[in-house]
Structure 1
Amino acid sequence: MFDPATTALLRAVLDEVCEEVSRFETGARTHVASRILEAAATGNITPENLKQIGREALHQAPSMGR
């Protein structure tokens, strides 16, 4: 699907965007990961754009006990 460098970038972006989200909040993390993957699949793979997309997705994510 993605080359190793892109996969590493996507993982790093997800970790950065979700740094304050518990690993047990799988709904929120999955939502963010899904949006980041969708963006990357369309060729949108600049770190800045992916982080912005991830942050927006985090705000729309399923409830995290807020």
Structure 2
Amino acid sequence: MFDPAMTALLRAVLDEVCKDVSRFESGARAHVASSILQAATKGDTSPDRLQQIGREALHDAPTMWR
């Protein structure tokens, strides 16, 4: 699907966006990962744009406290 360089970029973006999210909040992390992956699949591969998409997804992510 993606080459190793793109896979590493996607992982780095996810880690950066979710740096303050607990590893136990798998729903929020999965929501962000899905949004980033969907954007990359559609050709949006700019690191800055992927981070923006990830931050927007994190803001909209479901949490157990809402």
TM-score, normalization: structure 1?
0.95
Question: Structure 1 runs of 4+ off > 6 angstroms?
Answer: none
Q: Where does the alignment leave 5 or more consecutive residues of structure 1 unmatched?
A: none
Q: Where does the alignment leave 5 or more consecutive residues of structure 2 unmatched?
A: none
Report SS of the residue matched to 1:23. Answer: coil
- 1:4 equivalent in structure 2: 4
Query: Superposition pairs for residues 6-21 of structure 1, below 5 Å?
Result: 6-21=6-21
Does the 8 Å CA contact 1:13/1:50 hold for their aligned counterparts?
Answer: yes
What amino acid is aligned across from residue 14 of structure 2 in structure 1?
A: L
CA distance in structure 1 between the aligned counterparts of 2:17 and 2:36, rounded to whole angstroms: 10
What amino acid is aligned across from residue 59 of structure 1 in structure 2?
A: H
Aligned length: 66
TM-score, normalization: structure 2?
0.95
